[in-house]
Amino acid sequence: MVNHIHDFKFDAEISNCHTHSVAGYTDCMLGVNALHFHYFSGISTYKNHTHHFSGYTGPPIKTENGHVHKISGYLESRSFHSHKFNNYTYEEVSYNSPRLHQRVMI
């Protein structure tokens, strides 16, 4: 399987009378072929506060045109509350070259 990333966008569960949008891109794949995962991280802001989030996706779930990954966890606790999120990456992927990624990281 070619190295790739996924994007994602969904809302976290309501907590403290509001919700947050969870959006971003996964990092490059870790593993091979049918058994790979992706690291993800980001920041979600609502009015006057932010929550950080990070984690690893679940393994690939085969779809008609490719695959998706489950993303779940909690937004970092802030202002005495946290938000749970549970959804999937988009099926479409962006392909990237490990050499290009390495050049960007140097």
At 45-59, the pLDDT tens digits run: 888 888 899 999 999
pLDDT for residue 102: 46
User: Using CA atoms, how far apart are residues 66 and 95, in angstroms rounded to an integer?
Assistant: 13
Q: Are 42 and 51 in contact (CB under 8 A)?
A: no
> Two tokens at 25?
């891109």
pTM of the model: 0.80
Dihedral in degrees, nearest 10, Cα atoms 15, 16, 17, 19: -40
Chain segment 59-100, per-residue pLDDT in tens: 999 999 899 999 999 988 777 788 899 999 998 877 765 554
Domain boundaries, the chain: 4-105
